[in-house]
Chains A and B, each alone.
Chain A
């Protein structure tokens, strides 16, 4: 028992505020971080839009412009009510209301593309790489939560990446969030379709969904954003007005003891043809290790139908690797439902004048961008000939002495691919035709049919069906416009022939591929490596 002085006791029990080193340098750093962030927000704000239907300006969603020509992304569920007329309004941060057309839709993945009307240069955001995100990275969500933005200036919410590669099941094959980004940035009704940015101001996702279990329809710290890398695989088709299905693997899996077992293989599916059997263990899918059924669904859902992926599976002690082109899933059926009634059922997938026009525009865009990649319209128009000399290595004899190879592309020569006598002639004829800067008749009839991946690059796929000529398929890099692949059935021998290109470098006034690979029925036949390419231009 000890008596102490009152003042001492008071000091003991009243904890003094803990001092912290008020480091001026640290404060400066904090302020620098904040002003960097404000500058990014200022830069990206003009690209974020408020999306409204024509009928009701209450409610609505958000979107983001990703191309100066006015192409933009939003959620399918935001524009689902506009599919009859395929028009809506976008409010920009400058306060203007602009009409847009609804182009392609991805109902399975809850994505849609719109294009603003009007031939002006629109403020556009650039796309990032969502594969580089880490849990804990800061992100910014822009959009119009609760329809607050009367003047269309988007609201900004800051958060972090809470989770990656999340799988959130959808409804009847629609609105499934696969491989998505979970964020704690506050996303609320009205934010749907708006962009998620990294702190460098690049779009890394489209916000569209929140978890609200037990609560009101407001954010409770869990939002989901569709990853931009998934969307990039759909963009070429969406731009062309195509309703794009997701991929089906042709098999289902089940979790067994921390292993993923293929439990059912669909008859006639690509998986069955590839030799995958029920009971096999799935090890890797599309370059990703798979340790749960969830992870498989997440990886699969990120691909459109027709995409080529690698599947690694094990049967007994035997590990096999298969490369297979995924089947398309059926598009979600919206015709049924309780509200169908006696009314004529509306088919959102029926062709529309707007989507047809979008497809023609997408074809022109692909050719224009190809010419821009080569060196510009004027330069391409001035080409007389391209002569390449190099070496050919045969796939059947990879160690043998390479033979010399020539590529003589004479623009004035006979330009019809239909009349070519060999696959090599056909290839040259097609490349000549692609160099034409006037509307070459051989170039009519092309349609954008979708997207594909060629040597790791996302490509827009064009197809031409003619009655007497061979059906032609072209793949251009969707980002830089380069020609990546030409494929056709060579009717004389009934073979599927394709040429792939790479190693684009400067050759005189042009940027041209220096590698060419020829495939016959999907099997590599020869690789040509050009050492010297001489471009001759017409005399002015």
Chain B
């Protein structure tokens, strides 16, 4: 293949021209095809980049003083990852057109590692988070963010491409600290584990906002960084926490940030001293959500919501993602009987 042109070099430019022409003709025909549809990623970028913002704040220790966020409402709500950056005073947001706004934290979720900022603005471009369940391994995904703060002012954020590698949970650490996010993640082969990327959107080729780029985390097994996003389902649930009808209270924006405590059910599982142990209930706290729903000792927990519980570890992870106040279904096995229960999640006392 490579010798062909070396032997017949005069034909080389013509060969290139012919292929070039062929491609141009082929362009529209490929418009909908995965994996290299001409212009598909350009179109996703054009439709989405207007809702991507650059976030700047004070530097603190090894925290970078910058990140990315996604506008999720025309009146200035911005979702991003929860970090020291957005928890401190003096956070500023630079919109896609270069306008700079002060931002304040109005909602945060420690378990999901998500934060909601509010800026004073109207008529903004925004993205609506969507579910990620339709994504299959191998689907092309793109991530937009201001990694390394390469873009400034009205310069547009960066876009990287990858394919969905797998949906999993992470055994990870963050710098030398614990990695608190226990929920599901979308892992892809595009590189986003860089300073400033977290909080940017992960999009599919139809432009659906299917995830939020997570904070830099390293695998505890390999010490290498993981490129991942928190799935859209988590963002939807997070935003749903405030979806009660808005009051006419004009001072509502001045309320302190709402913060959710750790979820509490009142169940203690049986521990047998080794790791993969089934989720048998050992004790139920009186007056707890579990007691009220009728959970009993020796019940085997099989499912929480739509997720199967195969062992105690998984039970802990699933419970960690529950939000105080939400109702969640349980399936337990009692003797030979399967029983469906509904619990109302409380906050840890």
Contact = CB atoms under 8 A, between A and B. Distances in A.
Contact of A184 (B32, B39, B161, B340): B161
* Leading 7 A-B pairs by shortest Cβ distance: A221-B191, A136-B41, A29-B33, A136-B42, A94-B6, A200-B20, A93-B2
Contacts of B313: none
Interface in A201-238: 201-202, 211, 213-214, 219-222
A46 B4 CA distance: 9
Given A46-B9, A136-B42, 9 more contacts: A13-B307, A18-B133, A26-B33, A47-B12, A126-B13, A200-B20, A201-B20, A213-B194, A222-B191
B136 interface: yes
Interface stretch (B142-150, B233-241, B252-260): B142-150
Given A184-B190, A222-B148, A15 B306 contact: yes
B1 A123 contact: no
A255 B181 CA distance: 40
A37 to B, nearest CB: 6
Interface string B147-190: 11011111111111100000000000000000000000000001
B118 interface: no
A199 interface: yes
Nearest to B1: A42
A201 B152 contact: no
Contacts of A93: 2, 6
Contacts of B40: 136
Contacts of A388: none
Interface string A1-18: 111111001001111001
Interface residues of B, number: 75
A32 interface: yes
B154 A29 contact: no
Nearest to A94: B6
A200 B6 CA distance: 20
A258 B153 contact: yes
A294 B156 contact: no
Contacts of A213: 148, 194-195
B136 A46 contact: no
B30 interface: yes
A44 interface: yes
A439 B215 CA distance: 69
A301 B219 CA distance: 41
A14 B308 contact: yes
Interface string B1-31: 1110110011011011101101110100110
Main secondary structure of the interface of B (DSSP, over half): mixed
Contacts of A214: 194-195
A279 interface: no
A211 B13 contact: no
Nearest to B29: A29
Given A13-B331, A92-B6, A163 B13 contact: no
Contact of A12 (B32, B161, B303, B337): B303
A160 interface: yes
A2 B330 CA distance: 11
B33 A123 contact: no
A163 B6 contact: no
A43 interface: yes
Given A4-B340, A13-B306, A40 B19 contact: yes
Which bracket fits the contact residues of A? 35 or more
A451 B1 CA distance: 37
11 contacts: A13-B307, A14-B308, A18-B133, A26-B34, A39-B19, A136-B39, A137-B41, A164-B156, A165-B155, A184-B190, A220-B193
Interface stretch (B43-51, B77-85, B104-112, B119-127): B43-51
Nearest to B329: A12
A135 B33 contact: no
Nearest to A125: B16
A222 B147 contact: yes
Given A20-B136, A33-B36, A294 B153 contact: yes
A293 to B, nearest CB: 9
A217 to B, nearest CB: 15
A390 interface: no
A3 B337 contact: yes
A333 interface: no
Interface string B77-107: 0000000000000000000001110000000
Contact of A126 (B16, B158, B193): B16
Contact of A13 (B10, B49, B156, B303): B303
Given A162-B159, A162-B160, A184-B190, A33 B37 contact: yes
B328 interface: no
